Chain A
Amino acid sequence: MAECGASGSGSSGDSLDKSITLPPDEIFRNLENAKRFAIDIGGSLTKLAYYSTVQHKVAKVRSFDHSGKDTERDHEPPYEISVQEEITARLHFIKFENTYIEACLDFIKDHLVNTETKVIQATGGGAYKFKDLIEEKLRLKVDKEDVMTCLIKGCNFVLKNIPHEAFVYQKDSDPEFRFQTNHPHIFPYLLVNIGSGVSIVKVETEDRFEWVGGSSIGGGTFWGLGALLTKTKKFDELLHLASRGQHSNVDMLVRDVYGGAHQTLGLSGNLIASSFGKSATADQEFSKEDMAKSLLHMISNDIGQLACLHARLHSLDRVYFGGFFIRGHPVTMRTITYSINFFSKGEVQALFLRHEGYLGAIGAFLKGAEQDNPNQYSWGENYAGSSGLMSTSPELGPAQRARSGTFDLLEMDRLERPLVNLPLLLDPPSYVPDTVDLTDDALARKYWLTCFEEALDGVVKRAVASQPDSVDAAERAEKFRQKYWNKLQTLRQQPFAYGTLTVRSLLDTREHCLNEFNFPDPYSKVKQRENGVALRCFPGVVRSLDTLGWEERQLALVKGLLAGNVFDWGAKAVSDVLESDPYFGFEEAKRKLQERPWLVDSYSEWLQRLKGPPHKCALIFADNSGIDIILGVFPFVRELLLRGTEVILACNSGPALNDVTHGESLIVAERIAGMDPVVHSALREERLLLVQTGSSSPCLDLSRLDKGLAALVRERGADLVVIEGMGRAVHTNYHAALCCESLKLAVIKNAWLAERLGGRLFSVIFKYEVPAE
Chain B
Amino acid sequence: MGAGRLGAPMERHGRASATSVSSGGEQAAGGPEGRRQEPLRRRASSASVPAVGASVEGARRDRLGSYSGPTSVSRQRVESLRKKRPQLLLAFISFSLLFPLRLPMSKSFFPWFGLDIGGTLVKLVYFEPKDITAEEEEEEVESLKSIRKYLTSNVAYGSTGIRDVHLELKDLTLCGRKGNLHFIRFPTHDMPAFIQMGRDKNFSSLHTVFCATGGGAYKFEQDFLTIGDLQLCKLDELDCLIKGILYIDSVGFNGRSQCYYFENPADSEKCQKLPFDLKNPYPLLLVNIGSGVSILAVYSKDNYKRVTGTSLGGGTFFGLCCLLTGCTTFEEALEMASRGDSTKVDKLVRDIYGGDYERFGLPGWAVASSFGNMMSKEKREAVSKEDLARATLITITNNIGSIARMCALNENINQVVFVGNFLRINTIAMRLLAYALDYWSKGQLKALFSEHEGYFGAVGALLELLKIP
Cα-based distance from A499 to B222 in the complex (angstroms): 55
CA distance A482 to B51 in the complex (A): 85
A450 at interface by CB-CB < 8 Å: no
A260 to B319, CA, bound (A): 24
Residue A77 CB within 8 A of the other chain: no
Contact of B359 with A146 in the complex, beta carbons under 8 Å: yes
Interface status of B280 (Cβ within 8 A of chain A): no
B313 to chain A, nearest CB (A): 5
Q: Which of A273, A301, A342 has the most CB of B within 10 A?
A: A273
* Chain B residue at smallest Cβ distance from A231: B380
Q: CB distance A271 to B29 under 8 Å?
A: yes
A199 on interface, CB distance cutoff 8 Å: yes
- Binding stretch for chain A, among B100-108, B128-136, B155-163, B400-408: B400-408
Question: Is A282 touching B322 in the complex (CB atoms < 8 A)?
Answer: yes
Q: Which listed residue, B218, B324, B366, touches A228 by the CB 8 Å rule?
A: B324
- Cα(A196)–Cα(B368), bound, Å: 7
Complexed CA–CA distance, A658 and B48 (Å): 86
Choose among B27, B316, B402 the residue that contacts A275 (Cβ–Cβ < 8 A): B316
Q: B291 near A252 (CB under 8 angstroms)?
A: yes
A716 within 8 A of partner (CB): no
* Chain B 23-53 per-residue mask, 1 if CB under 8 angstroms from chain A, else 0: 0001111111000000000000000000000
A52 to chain B, nearest CB (A): 31
Give the segment of A309-317, A369-377, A516-524 that binds chain B.
A309-317
CB atoms of A197 and B377 under 8 A apart? no
User: Which one of A125, A148, A250, A276 lies within 8 Å of B360 (CB-CB)?
Assistant: A148
How far is A221 from B216 in the complex, measured between Cα atoms in Å?
A: 32
Is there an interface contact between A228 and B291, defined as CB atoms closer than 8 Å? no
CB within 8 Å for A264 and B74 given contacts A220-B370, A228-B380? yes
Chain A residues lying within 8 Å of B399, measured Cβ to Cβ, are 215-217, 302
Given contacts A220-B347, A254-B26, A280-B120, contact A309 B403 (CB under 8 A): yes
Q: Which residues from A are CB-within-8-Å of B322?
A: 279-282
Interface residues of A in 331-347 (CB under 8 A from B): 342-343
Residue B450 CB within 8 A of the other chain: no
Contact of A278 among B68, B319, B402 (CB under 8 A): B319
Q: Which residues of B contact A282 (CB under 8 A)?
A: 322, 326, 328
Q: List chain A residues, Cβ under 8 A from B347.
A: 196-197, 220
Q: Which of B311-328 contact A (CB under 8 A)?
A: 311-316, 318-320, 322-324, 326, 328
Kindly state the separation between the CA atoms of A257 and B315 in the bound complex, as whole angstroms.
Answer: 12
B180 in contact (CB, < 8 A): no
Say yes or no: A273-B319 contact (C-beta < 8 A), given A148-B359, A257-B215. Answer: no
Beta-carbon contact of B68 and A263 below 8 Å: yes
Q: Which residues in B have their C-beta under 8 angstroms from that of A343?
A: 308
Question: Taking the nearest CB of chain A, how far is it from the CB of B66, in angstroms?
Answer: 7
Q: Is the CB of A211 within 8 A of B362?
A: yes
**Inter-subunit contact B371/A225 (CB<8 Å):** yes
Pick from B71, B215, B361: contact of A258, CB under 8 Å = B215
Which A residues lie within 8 Å of B74 (CB)? 264
* A263 CB contacts on chain B under 8 angstroms: 68
Q: Is the CB of B32 within 8 A of A267?
A: yes
Pick from A276, A305, A313: contact of B403, CB under 8 Å: A305
> Which residues of chain B are near A125, meaning CB under 8 Å?
352
- Complex Cα distance, B323 from A228, in Å, reads 9
Please report which residues of chain B, range 359-392, place their CB below 8 angstroms from some CB of chain A when the two chains form the complex.
Answer: 359-362, 366-375, 377, 380, 388
| Among B31, B66, B370, B395, residue most surrounded by chain A Cβ atoms (within 10 Å) | B370
Contact B372 A220 (CB under 8 A): yes
How near does chain B come to A311, taking the closest CB pair, in angstroms? 10
- The distance in angstroms between the C-alpha atoms of A298 and B31, with both chains bound, is 17
Total interface residues on A, CB under 8 Å, equals: 68
A274 touches B319 (CB 8 A): yes
B99 within 8 A of A: no
Given B19, B371, B407, which contacts A224 in the complex, CB threshold below 8 Å?
B371
Q: A223-B375, A252-B119, A291-B323 are in contact. Are A276 and B218 (CB under 8 A)?
A: no
Chain B residues whose CB sits within 8 angstroms of the CB of A312 once the complex forms: 410
Q: Are A257 and B371 in contact (CB under 8 A)?
A: no
Q: Does A83 belong to the interface (CB within 8 Å)? A: no
Query: Which residues on the A side are within 8 Å of B398 (C-beta)?
Result: 216
Q: Is the CB of B27 within 8 A of A216?
A: no
Which of these, A146, A148, A197, contacts B368 with CB under 8 Å? A197
Q: Which of A259, A264, A267 contacts B219 (CB 8 A)?
A: A259
A217: chain B residues at CB < 8 Å are: 312, 370, 395, 399
CB pair B367–A216 under 8 Å, yes or no, is: yes
> Which residues of chain A are within 8 angstroms of B28 by Cβ–Cβ distance?
254, 271-274
A280: contacting residue among B20, B68, B361, B371, CB under 8 A: B20
A286 located at the interface, meaning its Cβ lies under 8 Å from any Cβ of chain B in the complex: yes
Most buried by B among A218, A252, A309: A252
Contact for A197 among B290, B324, B369, CB less than 8 A: B369
- B346 within 8 Å of A by Cβ? yes
Q: Residue A446 at the B interface, CB < 8 A?
A: no
Min Cβ gap B410→A in Å is 5
Q: Let me know if A252 and B219 touch, CB within 8 A.
A: no
CB-based contact A309/B371 at 8 Å? no
Q: Confirm or deny: B221 has a beta carbon within 8 angstroms of a beta carbon on chain A.
A: yes
In the complex, A272→B26 CA distance in Å? 9
Q: Which residue of A lies closest to B440 (CB)?
A: A213
In the complex, which of the residues B221, B314, B319, B362 has the most CB atoms of chain A within 10 Å of its own CB atom? B319
Contacts of A309 in B (CB 8 A): 308, 403, 406-407, 410
A186 on the interface (CB 8 Å rule)? no
B435 to chain A, nearest CB (A): 15
Once the chains bind, are A298 and B71 in contact (CB under 8 Å)? no
Whether A276 pairs with B320 at a CB distance below 8 angstroms is yes
Partner of A264, one of B64, B361, B369: B64
- In the complex, what residues of B have CB within 8 A of residue A251's CB? 311
Return A364 CB to nearest CB of chain B, in Å. Answer: 15
Q: Does B220 sit within 8 A of A, measured CB to CB?
A: yes
Whole-angstrom distance between the Cβ of B115 and the nearest chain A Cβ: 14
Docked pose: A16 CA to B181 CA in angstroms: 70
A148 to B349, CA, bound (A): 14
Is there a chain A Cβ closer than 8 Å to B175's Cβ? no
Q: Which residues of B contact A211 (CB under 8 A)?
A: 359-362
Given A263-B68, A313-B406, decide whether A277 and B292 contact each other with a Cβ distance below 8 A. yes
Closest to A279 in B: B319
Across the interface, B395 reaches (CB within 8 A) one of A214, A221, A271, namely: A221
Answer whether residue B63 sits at the interface, using C-beta atoms and an 8 A cutoff: yes
Partner of B374 from the list A199, A227, A258, A262 (CB cut-off 8 Å) is A227
Do A258 and B219 touch (CB < 8 A)?
yes
Instruction: Return chain A residues, CB-CB under 8 Å to B216.
Output: 257-259
How far apart are the CA atoms of A260 and B221 in the complex, in Å?
A: 10
Our pick among B71, B323, B346, B409 for the contact of A276 (Cβ within 8 Å) is B323
In the bound complex, residues from chain B placing their C-beta under 8 Å from that of A275 are 292, 311-313, 315-316, 319
Render A223-248 as a binary contact track against B, CB cut-off 8 A, 1 for contact: 11101110001000000000000000
B119 interface neighbour in A256, A271, A313, Cβ under 8 Å:
A256
Q: Does B310 contact A (CB under 8 A)?
A: yes
Shortest distance from the beta carbon of A288 to any chain B beta carbon, whole Å: 11
Q: A224-B375, A257-B119 are in contact. Are A267 and B324 (CB under 8 A)?
A: no
If A195-B369, A302-B399 are given as contacts, then 6 extra A-B residue pairs at C-beta distance below 8 Å, sorted by A number, are A196-B372, A218-B369, A259-B222, A260-B219, A276-B315, A301-B310
What would 20 A/B residue contacts be, using CB atoms closer than 8 Å? A215-B402, A219-B369, A224-B370, A224-B373, A228-B371, A252-B292, A257-B214, A257-B215, A257-B219, A259-B218, A259-B220, A265-B32, A268-B30, A273-B26, A273-B28, A273-B292, A275-B316, A279-B322, A282-B328, A302-B399
B residues near A, CB below 8 A?
A: 19-20, 26-32, 63-64, 66-68, 71, 74, 118-120, 214-216, 218-222, 290-292, 308, 310-316, 318-320, 322-324, 326, 328, 345-347, 352, 359-362, 366-375, 377, 380, 388, 395, 398-399, 402-403, 406-407, 409-410
- Which 9 A-B pairs rank lowest in CB-CB distance, beginning with the nearest? A224-B374, A259-B219, A274-B315, A261-B218, A257-B215, A276-B319, A220-B369, A220-B372, A277-B315
